[in-house]
Amino acid sequence: MKLAFEKLFELLNANGYCKEKDYGKAVSSIHDVSHAIYGSYCDIFITCDHSFYKKLKAVYYYLGL
């Protein structure tokens, strides 16, 4: 499952879907994947990062979560 999350986030980023605006944010996208994996085990996921939320929603939808 981890590989699926990594590749889907990588695909979204490579295609410019809710692209990170600066380098520091791009580096934090590595952490976004791990947060997405942990969040898939929860009933509620809270974030203030709108672009991460949109990517997360797309990945969860694709994976049926």
Per the structure, the count of domains in the chain is: 1
Instruction: Provide Rg for the chain, Cα atoms.
Output: 11
Phi-psi bin for 18: left (phi > 0), alpha (psi -120 to 50), beta? left
pLDDT (mean) for 26-55: 88
Range of the domain at 40: 2-63
Is residue 22's pLDDT more than 80? Answer: no
So what's the pLDDT on residue 32?
Answer: 87
pLDDT band at 15 (very low <50, low <70, confident <90, very high): confident
So what's the pLDDT on residue 40?
Answer: 93
Sign of the torsion formed by the C-alpha atoms of 21, 24, 26 and 30? negative
pLDDT (mean) for 46-61: 92
pLDDT band at 14 (very low <50, low <70, confident <90, very high): confident
